Amino acid sequence: METVNAVLVGIFGLAWGSFLNVVIHRLPRDMSLLKPPSSCPACGRRIRPWDNIPVLSYVFLGGRCRACKTKISPVYPFVELLTATGLILVFLRGGGVFSLDFFAGALFTTALIVLGVIDYFHQILPDVITLPGFALALIYAVFRDDLTLRQALVGAIVGAGFLLFVYGVYFLVRRKEGLGMGDVTMMLMVGAFLGWMPTILTLILASFTGALVGAAVMKFGKKDLQFALPFGTFLAPAAFVAMLWGNAIITAYLSLYP
């Protein structure tokens, strides 16, 4: 039965990922998420339902618009597959499809995907996602067994406070912003959902991977230290890892120091 439910969660994830593509495309452009119906960005032709099947339509159409043959970005099927995979992993963590834990985890995963992709392309982290996400994480903490409201608040303070500290130090030294306030509000949401220890793990993982990617970009992409990386794109997968495996990682690390 669990396998069947996992498959159903994956199918829903593909469809949900298709909607997330709409959010990712329209939200930074201040467009309505509901109107007009999905259409080709190049020719404006409305996309028919049979050409809007997650992943499959992209494959059958060869990654091009049926009407104008303009190439469709592979980001669309990527987001659909990423959403399906993320929701399946949240389901396999336990709790059941109709449990509050699964619903909250799926919603948190959704927010991370949207924030990570939008930040990659636009270098913004919309408050319309992070601040309601922060509020919902605090409400969720009231009903959780593994995290209290106080611990959620501490996590939010640790996550946002650390980035605020980095922001302030960098500004004092360089007289310009080293990161955006969107990163701070994102960590409010992440910290409130995860608690303080997984939040620290999130910051460590994101900083480490960001440093590796930054070094690679400077070496092979001929960029200098002024090149800005979208930190939210690294925070998002790090927070997802911390949500699913953070406690195991922290326990394994602490066991090295009995």
Residues 30 and 130 in one domain: no
Residues 193 and 232 in one domain: yes
- Residue 22: left (phi > 0), alpha (psi -120 to 50), or beta? alpha
Residues 106 and 230 in one domain: yes
- Are the C-beta atoms of residues 199 and 246 closer than 8 Å to each other? no
Say yes or no to pLDDT of 108 above 60.
yes
Residues 224 and 256 in one domain: yes
Residues 44 and 124 in one domain: no
Say yes or no to pLDDT of 226 above 60.
no
Residues 242 and 176 in one domain: yes
Report the chain's mean pLDDT, rounded to a whole number: 91
Output phi, psi for 39, to 5 deg.
-145, 165
Residues 121 and 77 in one domain: no
d(CA 128, CA 121): 17
Residues 141 and 250 in one domain: yes
Residues 64 and 177 in one domain: no
d(CA 76, CA 110): 15
pLDDT tier at 3 (50, 70, 90 boundaries)?
A: confident
Cα 50–chain centre separation? 28
* Overall domain count for the chain: 2
Quick one: tokens of 144? 């959780």
Say yes or no to pLDDT of 77 above 80.
yes
Quick one: tokens of 8? 């159903």
Domain hosting residue 29, numbered range:
1-92
